[in-house]
Amino acid sequence: MADLLLPAAGGRIERYAPGPPADLPDGTQAPGAFNRVAYAAAHVVADPLADIDPGAGTAVDWDRTIAYRRHLWRLGFGVAEAMDTAQRGMGLDWPTSLELIRRSLDAARGEAGAAIACGCGTDHLDPADARGIDDVIAAYETQADAIEAAGGRLIVMASRALARVAAGPADYRAVYDRVLSQAREPVILHWLGDMFDPQLAGYWGTDDLGAAMDTCLDIITAHAGKVDGIKISLLDADREIAMRRRLPAGVRMYTGDDFNYPALIAGDDQGYSDALLGIFDPIAPAASAALAALAAGDTGRYDALMAPTVPLSRHVFRAPTRFYKTGVVLLAYLNGHQDHFTMVGGQESVRSTLHLAELFRLADRAGLLADPDRAAARMATVLAVRGIGA
């Protein structure tokens, strides 16, 4: 089996040989049944040959991007489309997001049982140009109308513009009252913490997370028939559980906690979380096998499969958390889902060489390098560009 040189702390370079992959599904056979709703927020594959300035333009390799969604569907996951993992607001603009949504919805119609929900935000409105909540409402309506016209179901994403112009909780209630009352079918709400996006600090009208949760729950309770569930990404398991226990009957908690997801999904005697996770993109084979084991009552296998993915996920999502997409795309490259490590907006450059090397080690320890020889050769290429072993 191939080995490679990996940098380590203190300026050391060490020779590393990856081990064999875990015995995991690859999507060629029907996945086991799940007893949790599980969405993977999927990344986009950039077109590395497009003649654009990555800082000012967006070019997507549509064939590889859609192929990855088919991979996720065939492993049993729903796809959460055009979300943060797809670099929404970090390189993926609204026109390209809408094109992605339309193409993914078309692909889903050709996949038996394929679930998909689509990110609806206000990102075509520059927060600096928003004069008040009416502008935010209009922006949400523009995107909701376009997504629903394409046949999509909404994930109502947190709004940078709303965070900027809202004077307090009442403005959040007014905006969400309008958006939810007009939705054609129940939506998934999305509460994204400021560790993922600093421009969302103080969401729901306060920096007090307890008070923010009260406001959010008031909105959900007032529109329970229009809310399928809420995804919260606060990386705080205790807060998620506390909120989960207060949700109206029939409203799901979708964990977005990429640090504590195994225990939150497994649940306790008072309930469990479903999932809408960015980490499910790179760990999909392991998560698929684990969720099937959980549904079959084999909690030992569930824990054994999920446990080694947690150190990897915590590393991928380490601060600055908003740069986690770099690790997601690197793993897709290492596992052969794309032929390059190029990202929308040039985001392949935002993590250190040491960070990428440790990601390789952790993915290997989790058994997630499907072809270790290919992964080692590709990682060596990435590191050579950064001066390791060149």
For the chain, helix (H) and strand (E) counts, in that order, are 14, 10
Counting beta carbons within 10 angstroms of the beta carbon of residue 218, is it exposed (0 to 12), middle (13 to 18) or buried (19 or more)?
A: middle
CB of 144 closer than 8 Å to CB of 182: yes
Report the C-alpha gap between 244 and 247 in whole angstroms: 5
Report the C-alpha gap between 180 and 224 in whole angstroms: 10
Q: Which residues contact 246 (CB under 8 A, 6 or more apart)?
A: 213, 217
Q: Which residues pair with 254 in a beta bridge?
A: 231, 274
Neighbours of 346 (CB within 10 A): 13
CATH 3.90.550.10 fits 34-308, yes or no: no
Instruction: Give the sign of the dihedral formed by CA 63, CA 67, CA 68, CA 73.
Output: positive
Q: What is the pLDDT of residue 150?
A: 98
CB of 244 closer than 8 Å to CB of 263: no
DSSP state, residue 63: H
Report the C-alpha gap between 236 and 196 in whole angstroms: 13
Report the C-alpha gap between 312 and 286 in whole angstroms: 12
Neighbours of 257 (CB within 10 A): 26
CA proximity to 323, closest of 295, 297, 352 = 352
Q: What is the pLDDT of residue 188?
A: 98
Q: What is the pLDDT of residue 53?
A: 87
Q: What is the pLDDT of residue 1?
A: 63
Helix, strand, or coil (residue 363): helix
Helix residue spans in 245-388 (DSSP H): 261-266, 284-295, 299-306, 309-316, 325-334, 353-365, 372-385
Q: List, for residues 259-313, the tens digit of each pLDDT value.
A: 999 999 999 999 999 999 999 999 999 999 999 999 999 999 999 999 999 999 9
Q: List, for residues 306-346, the tens digit of each pLDDT value.
A: 999 999 999 999 999 999 999 999 999 999 999 999 999 99
pTM assigned to the model: 0.96
Residue 389 scores a pLDDT above 90: no
Q: List, for residues 156-204, the tens digit of each pLDDT value.
A: 999 999 999 999 999 999 999 999 999 999 999 999 999 999 999 999 9
Counting beta carbons within 10 angstroms of the beta carbon of residue 112, is it exposed (0 to 12), middle (13 to 18) or buried (19 or more)?
A: exposed
Q: State how beta strands 13-16 and 4-7 pair.
A: antiparallel
Mean pLDDT score, 59-70: 97
